[in-house]
A and B are shown apart, each in its own frame.
Chain A
Amino acid sequence: MEITSTRIQSQRESLQRCRVRFDPWRILLYIALTVLALITLFPFIWMVLMALKTPAEVFEWPIQLLPDNPQWSNFAEAWARQPFTRYFQNTLFISIGTTVATLFTASTAGFAFEKYNFRFKRPLFMLVLMLLMLPPQVTLIPTYLLVRNLGLVNTYLGLMVPGLTSVFGIFLIRQFLQSVPDELLDAARIDGCNDWSIYTLIILPLLKPALAVLAIFTFTNMWNSFLWPLIVSDSREMYTLQVGIAFFSSQTGTEYQLMMAVAVISLLPVIIMYVLFQRYFVSSAAMSGLNR
């Protein structure tokens, strides 16, 4: 009796809460989130503002937030300081190359793991699982020595070779294929499809959303990667954008406006992709629990 009455009471209260338009907690929440969002965005905003300043404005104290006269020429000047066009092309080439390769290698392997029974399936899968947790530094030195012995230092192949398949990708594809009914494949077999045509005609079209996630994941990972390109390219011709930027930043000393101009250009492709394909980025994060 008592319990019911208090329940009704609190229900009434929560109903009232719905009716109240002004909820101080909600406003506070909005303020807190907005402040945090501004802090999160600030380094990017600051990068753009700094990229447009004159050398004198960079060191002005007290600091001036906005440049008096935006120096658009900083971009061209910074870009000309180093073979950045070349770095950009290198990075684009290896990012696209590894993405295409990974889409193929991960989708075939994920397909085999999900839709076939074969000997050593479990141990092979356990092996993949184990490779997932290897810190990159552990294979770094032997892989470098191997690539060196193969004469692949300072080559595109050398830059791409550790990224041509993706353990995360294999997992992603396998998981996605769990929702594809086996009957579909059986039906295709009865219609005379062999395994390769099942892969190309049925599996690949079905995998489109998963492949989109994987493509974006692989491309940005490669675009952003640093440690491997740093050690495997010692000639400037073969620098990637990130290696070039790190090098430029250590060479340039305090010409911050130029450093920031280069940073803007390096970020643009990633940000454009992010704006266009945001949901794929976010779903790859949610699934890459094992990868970061």
Chain B
Amino acid sequence: MSYRLNRRTAPYLFLLPSFALLLVFSLIPFVQGLYFSLTDYPLLQSPKFVGLDNFARLFRDPLFVASLKNTLVYMIATVALRVILGLAVAVALNGPLRGRVVFRAIFYLPVIAPLVTVSVIWRVIFDTYSGVLNAGLELLGIAPIPWLTSTAWAMPAVIIMSVWKTFGWNTVIFLAGLQGIPQQLYEAAAIDGASKWRSFIHITLPLLRPTILLAVVTSTISASQVFDQVYVMTGGGPGYSTMTLGQMVYTAGFQNYEMGYASAVSVILLLISLALTLVQFKFLGQEVKY
């Protein structure tokens, strides 16, 4: 008797620790966040419902408009570069290549390194007057670039650093995907006289489509939340030139103590993630056949 009872309650008891935590620290905060976005809520006071005022204010706020634009630029550039570079490296490594394990380990190293620490390293590398990057460019006859101190170059600098930090992740994901493509297909194509390039276009790309889509969507979602490297390298500046949505949530909430307004920004971030996730579900539904 007690055995039956035990077996019935057991799954709930096993779920309890995780679900209690998720409920208190994810689900309830999530719902609260949605509500706070509709309130005027200075820290230390109680939230006052103001409807959609925060969102109306957002689109009149030049800081938000700049943040949204910068975030989109950052997302598109970073994702395109890290996916293309990641794919190219994965294809290069996906063969009987001596040292491929070593190469893979090296390309993955930036991924596991703490983002703040490597941002500090890149701050030093990007320094206009003593930075090694400008020293290298000087050898090529290029005048020093004010990487982190000019509105034109700060965002490209953040993007370069982020691509360096993340493309190895895409490489590993793509390598896993490439392993799933039957080798016979390439052999057959080679026998039919197809070049390496044509095999890539007609075999690799179509069969890798689900992996590519997954990589693009997850990379985009993570790029939409960019924070650490901006905080450390530029603080959102100079001007608003590297201000992003993630950085704005922090500034509005924890420097200006406007919890309602900051929540509204975070809801915009949520909408971006949601849209991307829907895209992923829509297209991932179509399975590929070999």
What 0/1 pattern do residues 268 to 285 of B give for CB contact below 8 A with A?
A: 011001100100000000
Contact A162 B25, CB 8 Å, known A133-B273, A138-B269, A140-B266: yes
Does the CB pair A10–B17 fall under 8 Å?
no
Contact A108 B15, CB 8 Å, known A134-B26, A195-B10: yes
Question: In the docked arrangement, what's the CA distance between A139 and B224, Å?
Answer: 15
Interface size on A, residues (CB 8 A): 95
Does the CB pair B30–A134 fall under 8 Å?
yes
Does the CB pair B218–A290 fall under 8 Å?
yes
Q: Determine which of B17, B132, B135, B225 lies in contact with A108 in the assembled complex, contact meaning CB atoms within 8 Å.
A: B17
Chain A residues contacting B262 (CB-CB under 8 Å) are 141
Chain A residues contacting B132 (CB-CB under 8 Å) are 46, 63
What 0/1 pattern do residues 112 to 138 of A give for CB contact below 8 A with B?
A: 110010100100100110010111111
Does the CB pair B110–A40 fall under 8 Å?
yes
Q: List 8 A-B contacts (CB under 8 A).
A: A10-B192, A43-B122, A116-B10, A140-B249, A141-B259, A194-B3, A226-B114, A242-B117
Contact A256 B19, CB 8 Å, known A143-B25, A161-B25, A246-B120: no
Chain B residues contacting A62 (CB-CB under 8 Å) are 135, 138
Chain A residues contacting B6 (CB-CB under 8 Å) are 194-195
* Supplied contacts A224-B116, A249-B123, A271-B109, 20 more A-B pairs, CB within 8 Å: A36-B89, A37-B103, A40-B168, A105-B21, A108-B14, A112-B14, A121-B11, A131-B27, A134-B26, A137-B246, A139-B29, A140-B253, A227-B227, A231-B254, A245-B117, A286-B173, A286-B176, A289-B173, A289-B218, A290-B218
Q: Tell me the minimal C-beta distance from A83 to chain B in angstroms.
A: 17
Question: In the docked arrangement, what's the CA distance between A227 and B14, Å?
Answer: 30
Question: In the docked arrangement, what's the CA distance between A137 and B25, Å?
Answer: 13
Does the CB pair A37–B10 fall under 8 Å?
no
Closest to A117 in B: B11
Q: Tell me the minimal C-beta distance from B96 to chain A in angstroms.
A: 10
Q: Determine which of A33, A40, A161, A194 lies in contact with B109 in the assembled complex, contact meaning CB atoms within 8 Å.
A: A40
Chain B residues contacting A245 (CB-CB under 8 Å) are 116-117, 120
Question: In the docked arrangement, what's the CA distance between A110 and B31, Å?
Answer: 25
Report A239-266 residues with CB < 8 Å from chain B CB.
241-243, 245-246, 249, 254, 256, 259-260, 263, 266
5 closest A-B pairs by beta carbon, nearest first, are A142-B29, A116-B11, A195-B10, A112-B14, A109-B18
Report A27-67 residues with CB < 8 Å from chain B CB.
29, 32-33, 36-37, 39-41, 43-44, 46-47, 50, 58-63
Question: In the docked arrangement, what's the CA distance between A105 and B17, Å?
Answer: 6
Contact A135 B169, CB 8 Å, known A112-B14, A242-B116: no
B70 within 8 A of A: no
What 0/1 pattern do residues 217 to 230 of B give for CB contact below 8 A with A?
A: 01101101101100
Closest to B179 in A: A286
Chain B residues contacting A36 (CB-CB under 8 Å) are 89, 107
Which of A36, A41, A135, A274 has the most C-beta atoms of chain B within 10 angstroms of its own C-beta?
Answer: A135
Contact A227 B18, CB 8 Å, known A260-B121, A266-B117: no
Report A59-105 residues with CB < 8 Å from chain B CB.
59-63, 104-105
Interface size on B, residues (CB 8 A): 96
Does the CB pair B117–A267 fall under 8 Å?
yes
Question: In the docked arrangement, what's the CA distance between A271 and B207, Å?
Answer: 35
A-B contact count (CB 8 A): 269
B242 within 8 A of A: no
Q: Determine which of A14, A46, A224 lies in contact with B115 in the assembled complex, contact meaning CB atoms within 8 Å.
A: A224
Chain B residues contacting A167 (CB-CB under 8 Å) are 22
What 0/1 pattern do residues 53 to 67 of B give for CB contact below 8 A with A?
A: 000000000000000
Does the CB pair A281–B32 fall under 8 Å?
no
Question: In the docked arrangement, what's the CA distance between A7 and B190, Å?
Answer: 9
B112 within 8 A of A: yes
Does the CB pair A127–B27 fall under 8 Å?
yes
Chain B residues contacting A140 (CB-CB under 8 Å) are 249, 253, 266
Q: Tell me the minimal C-beta distance from B67 to chain A in angstroms.
A: 12
Q: Tell me the minimal C-beta distance from B14 to chain A in angstroms.
A: 4
Chain B residues contacting A220 (CB-CB under 8 Å) are 112
Q: Determine which of B10, B21, B109, B225 lies in contact with A44 in the assembled complex, contact meaning CB atoms within 8 Å.
A: B109
Question: In the docked arrangement, what's the CA distance between A135 and B263, Å?
Answer: 12
Closest to B43 in A: A145
Does the CB pair A59–B18 fall under 8 Å?
no
A292 within 8 A of B: yes
A11 within 8 A of B: yes
Q: Determine which of B109, B214, B221 lies in contact with A274 in the assembled complex, contact meaning CB atoms within 8 Å.
A: B109
Does the CB pair A104–B117 fall under 8 Å?
no
Question: In the docked arrangement, what's the CA distance between A37 and B101, Å?
Answer: 12
B240 within 8 A of A: no
